[in-house]
Structure 1
Amino acid sequence: MDTYTSPSGPAVSGVVVARSSLLRMAVAAYLARFKGQSRIHTESDLRGYLTWCEDRALDPFTAARPHIELYIRWLQEVRGYRPSTVSRVASVVAGFYRTCVIDGALENSPAEYVRRPAVPAESPTLGLTHLQFEALLSAARNFTTMLDAGVDLRDVQIAARHADPRTTMRYDRARKNLDRHPNYILAAYIASGT
């Protein structure tokens, strides 16, 4: 068996290095399916699972369904996550393993039959009341109109907390295209009280 001396010191077997490379490639392949905030959140959830495996000296490629069930229980009982969060994280882990199967890194997904916590059909998150929504529209109108009123771009940038004036200018150009946007039409309809 070949050995590899890592820059940090001790020798590691060639098999371990190959598994590590395979894992890095599998993670990259899975995350490549996502963009923007979805990628950031998915990466965070997957990193949490991989760290949990590492803390238990568990190779993610040798994990079985009971390991993932234990991870879900750990999220619930130790971390105290809500069912919706646990279900989301379990979906990320299942998606990772599904991608590993698709790419030929694994024959079967150990997450295929994992039980996820029940998530209530109704969300406990409250939406805006009609008055709150009108206040939001009013505030947006007063902003999206600062430039129309002749307020200096720099002052609008500061009020909007934009780090770069190009961001403010981008919103200024985009506001002229809102008349046909479905959300804008809905907001105008609700604001008109009809």
Structure 2
Amino acid sequence: MTLVPLAVDVAAPVPAVRAEPLDRLPGTAADDPLLRLAAAWLLAYPTRTATVYRRDLEAWASWCAGLGVHPFAAERHHVDAWVRHLTTTPQERTGRPAAAASVARRLSALSSFYDHGIAAEVLTHSPVASVRRPRVSEESQAVGLTTDQVRALITTATTHSPRSAALVLLLTSVGLRISEALGTDVRDFGHDHGHRVMKVTRKGGRTARAVVPPQAVRALEAYIGERTSGPIFLAADGVSRYPYKSAYEQLDRLCKLAKLPAGVTPHSLRHAWATEADRLRVPLQDIQDGLGHADPRTTRRYIAKRNQNDRSPNYAIAAAFTSDD
């Protein structure tokens, strides 16, 4: 198979690697063992997950390159220094230090990469094995949106274009991940026992059918028109799939037009969906199923604290203790 190069030049000596297990990996002896192990490791993951993990590995390889150390020769103190850098230095995309959840995910990806190398007998140790993982807050760090703010975004998207209207309504009323929405094809939009549904591919490659409410149905039908195949969301050429980066940038422009807070991302809309569902007293199990979460604790992180405060038992308890009755 053809190796996909990492977007970084690791200009550091490659440590000695056992030749026999390396021969079982993709690529040839002329390729950097890092690329060969990365290719073998990423084969086990769905495309979207593999893309994210590749970026995590690239970020780590770039850090190692700056130290003049090949990732195969890295030790725990190199990883500790990287974690400190991530958590204290503003990141290029956000202008803020990386959130604990982002750092934890990157360390999880690295741990998986090195464990794969050990299992393949290419590596003998993992520099991530004993690294302390940041404690992830039970409350999400995503920018929260009120009901009125989501309505303002929908109005702005509807005025902007059919594609923007269809995408924003799908994200806000169905609670999809941006990757799930952009990965849909026209044939995935169908019917199930009287409901309009969208077949989506969840994390881990699982498929699910999500109910699409009438408002989103109308927007999708207006955008799809007479098309019967191909991606639902199209790029500017009218043929290829709408790229994640382009959708992300378009949503950012729409948020500015709608005068929403800075830092809103596609994932913020998924959080808004969960928060609104909780406000409307939708059972946690149904919210969990709607988001496609395996663990209800993950779902609870999506629900903004303001809804939980509204239902705090403290009000009722204080009233009972101080009542004249």
Give the TM bin, normalised by the shorter chain: 0.5 to 0.7
87 and 19 in structure 1: CA distance in 2 versus 1, 3 angstrom threshold? farther
**Which has the greater radius of gyration?**
1
- 2:139 — aligned with what? 122
- 2:239 — aligned with what? 164
After TM superposition, the score normalised by the length of structure 1 is 0.62
The superposition leaves residues 138-190 of structure 1 with CA deviations (integer Å, 9 ceiling, x where unpaired) of 4312134549xxx9526xx9x965623999xxxxxxxxxxxxxx99xx7xxxx
- 1:46 — aligned with what? 57
Aligned counterpart in structure 1 of residue 218 of structure 2, from 123, 142, 147: 142
Contact 2:56/2:109 (8 A) holds in 1: yes
| Identical-pair percentage | 24
The DSSP-based 3-state class of the residue aligned with 1:108 is coil
Identify, as 1 or 2, the structure richer in helix.
1
Task: Name stretches of at least 5 consecutive residues in structure 1 with no aligned partner.
Answer: 1-11, 168-181, 187-194
What code does the residue aligned with 1:143 have? A
Deviation at 1:63, TM superposition (A): 0.9
19 and 94 in structure 1: CA distance in 2 versus 1, 3 angstrom threshold? farther
The DSSP-based 3-state class of the residue aligned with 1:86 is helix
Contact 1:153/1:165 (8 A) holds in 2: no
The DSSP-based 3-state class of the residue aligned with 1:153 is coil
The superposition leaves residues 24-56 of structure 1 with CA deviations (integer Å, 9 ceiling, x where unpaired) of 111111111222211111111110100110111
53 and 13 in structure 1: CA distance in 2 versus 1, 3 angstrom threshold? closer
The DSSP-based 3-state class of the residue aligned with 1:45 is helix
Contact 1:65/1:111 (8 A) holds in 2: yes
- 1:189 — aligned with what? none
Task: Name stretches of at least 5 consecutive residues in structure 2 with no aligned partner.
Answer: 1-12, 18-28, 92-96, 152-168, 174-212, 243-285, 291-325
The DSSP-based 3-state class of the residue aligned with 2:74 is coil
Asked if residue 89 in structure 1 is aligned to residue 89 in structure 2, the reply is: no
Aligned counterpart in structure 2 of residue 24 of structure 1, from 25, 35, 54: 35
What code does the residue aligned with 1:39 have? A
Runs (4+) of structure 1 exceeding 6 A deviation are 12-16
What code does the residue aligned with 1:123 have? S
After TM superposition, the score normalised by the length of structure 2 is 0.39
What code does the residue aligned with 1:64 have? E
What code does the residue aligned with 2:127 have? P
Aligned counterpart in structure 1 of residue 124 of structure 2, from 104, 107, 121: 107
**How far apart, in 1, do the equivalents of 2:33 and 2:115 lie?**
15
What code does the residue aligned with 1:47 have? E
Aligned counterpart in structure 1 of residue 226 of structure 2, from 131, 153, 172: 153
26 and 13 in structure 1: CA distance in 2 versus 1, 3 angstrom threshold? closer
The DSSP-based 3-state class of the residue aligned with 1:99 is helix
**How far apart, in 2, do the equivalents of 1:139 and 1:54 lie?**
50
- 1:176 — aligned with what? none
**How far apart, in 2, do the equivalents of 1:51 and 1:166 lie?**
30
Task: Report which stretch shifted further, 115-124 or 37-46.
Answer: 115-124
38 and 50 in structure 1: CA distance in 2 versus 1, 3 angstrom threshold? same
Contact 2:15/2:73 (8 A) holds in 1: no
For the aligned residue pairs, the C-alpha RMSD in angstroms reads 4.1
The DSSP-based 3-state class of the residue aligned with 1:122 is coil
- 1:55 — aligned with what? 66
Aligned residues: 153
**How far apart, in 2, do the equivalents of 1:92 and 1:141 lie?**
37
